[in-house]
Amino acid sequence: MALKILSVVGARPNFMKVAAICEAIKGISSLGAAEQIHHVLVHTGQHYDSNMSDSFFNDLELPQPDLCLGVGSASHSTQTARIMERFESVVLNEQPHLVLVVGDVNSTAACALVAKKTWCRGDEGANDFIPKLAHVEAGLRSFDRTMPEEINRIVTDSISDYLFTTEESANQNLLHEGIPENRIFFVGNVMIDTLLRHRSKAQESTILQDLQLADGCEVKPYAILTLHKPANVDDKRVFCAMLDAFLDISKRMPVIFPAHPRTLKRIQDEDLGDYFVDHFVQGPEPWDSRVRIRLVPPLGYLDFLRLMSEARVVRLPLSMALTSWRARIRKRLSERLTVYPGMNRVRIDLPVTGTGMQLNESSKRWSMIFALSDL
């Protein structure tokens, strides 16, 4: 009898994690193991834009989802409810032995709850059962329960049967929350597996030429900005303060902004267009005198990987929270794995009105900069 695993994806970070899992399952099945794995991939549709979803499936060589729930965008509660309602019928029809969820998006928590509250029929007279639940990237904490992602993490971890962690601090977080040690498995980061698998292919991307950031073999200095979390873009005061800071950076080098559809809507709703220039329509030459943040469409995985590999400055919206400047940063960084070993540095500046970035040519190329409102 085949072991049926039902894996759930909903948003772009999920795709990168599940890609490595799909590859591993395919490898196990190719070995002709006695117990075969029947893998079912479910896409909730939480990221519904083709630029946010389809391109990632192509770049990561993910199999097309077996089932698409098409939930689309909505408030957190409405979206979570839609996912639960539609996923319940999937579990009842598929009767999986294991439901595997990744990360901390609404799809993660919603499908986790359904999995642990749904009884499935036993095969050939066996007893009915509740599917086992596995959470990949378990145990990460920001210690800020105003973050929707933090609630999703805590809820999912509390009901999971198998908790796969990426770092030692995640193990300690779970143990402190009363999770039995025999349910915790320190396996490393599947996103790094995906990165290593696609790194050489990303070098073939023409994104630097497409954005006129490379002249032959010479790559010109530029920065990358990503910005979409509600805490950053829903409050106009905070959003404008961050944009002012990045306008200052754009005086020194182009700031390339692959804008999330949600952020684009906020820009339109709040009439913030003066901060930006469309890189392709209004700014064919990125070295003109206009100081603006340069909008480009959402990028696929390989293009973004290539763009990030040559960037002088990278600003990424890690899931972090800092309730006041006195808070201990060490306890607030949910993705601190790359900071503590010294691979990256976090710069925090007070007050919230700017980053005060200083470019140090002698420092390593990789830098990570955060405004206070993003911590």
Q: What are phi and psi of 161, to 5 degrees?
A: -90, -30
Whether residue 32 contacts residue 66, with contact meaning beta carbons closer than 8 Å, is answered with: no
User: CA torsion sign, 349 to 350 to 354 to 358?
Assistant: negative
Radius of gyration, CA atoms only, the chain: 22
Write b or e for each residue in 274-304: b if 16 or more Cβ atoms lie within 10 A of its Cβ, otherwise e.
Answer: ebbbebeeebeebeeeeebbbbbebbbbbbb
Q: Would you call 76 a catalytic residue per the annotation? A: no
Whether residue 332 contacts residue 316, with contact meaning beta carbons closer than 8 Å, is answered with: no
- CA-based end-to-end distance of the chain: 48
| Residue 188: CB atoms within 10 Å | 11
Contacts of 302 (CB under 8 A, 6+ apart): 59, 198, 201, 202, 204, 205
Among residues 38, 228, 260, 279, the one annotated as catalytic is 228
Look up residue 310 and give its amino acid: E
Whether residue 15 contacts residue 62, with contact meaning beta carbons closer than 8 Å, is answered with: yes
Residues with catalytic roles: 228
